[in-house]
Amino acid sequence: MKRRPTRADIDAIAWHTIKTAHVFTNGPSGYTECGRPANYAELGQMIADLDGDFEHAWSEFLHEFFRYRTAGFFSEPPPKMLSPGWRAILAGSAEFLSKEFSLPVPGWSEEPEYFLPEIWDPVSDLGLDVKEFEEVRKAQSHECFLRRNVLFGTRNLITL
């Protein structure tokens, strides 16, 4: 009987697909030109334009990043309009993706404001009691997020 693929197997396939996809070399056009943010300042503008729809704007940002994979995507720090937790997630994402794609890690990502004093799980924003899942969520979180006291798995960065 054939073994069913695990989440880790599926994630590995997704990351392989992302890493081996064609990379455009002409540079991103940016939010005003093509509707996809090319840095965190433009991400903030798109979130504002979408009446706070972070999820949609973040998905568009990730699609564009994976398409071009340049350090310019992280040239600006996360927008101040976001909560400290989400700003920490964006800093961790900048660090993780920069390392993953051999880009320089932005200096601003090491500033104290991107490190939370207590563990925060974005799932708790859904009104769920996440304490019982904390250890599992920690195990699924990458060091780039854990050192910021954020429970966030890199599978949340996968977008195809």
The mean pLDDT of 38-44, rounded to a whole number, is 98
- The residue that leads in pLDDT, 49 or 129, is 49
The strand pairing partners of 150, in sequence order, are: 120
Tokens standing for 53? Answer: 């729809």
CA atoms within a 13 Å half-sphere pointing along the CA-CB vector of 70: 18
Look at residue 127 in the predicted model and tell me its pLDDT. Answer: 57
- Reported as a single tens digit per residue, the pLDDT across 96-122 is 999 999 999 999 999 999 999 999 988
- Domain ranges in the chain? 27-157
CB neighbour class for 75 (10 Å; exposed up to 12, middle 13-18, buried from 19): middle
DSSP tag of 26 = S
The closest of 20, 109, 24 to 64, measured between CA atoms, is 24
Per-residue pLDDT of 122-153, as tens digits, reads: 876 665 666 667 788 888 899 999 999 999 99
Note the helical H segments in 3-129.
7-20, 31-34, 40-49, 54-68, 84-100
Handedness of CA 67, 93, 125, 35 (dihedral sign): negative
Q: What is the mean pLDDT of residues 87-93?
A: 98
Global confidence as pTM: 0.92
pLDDT of 91 reads 98
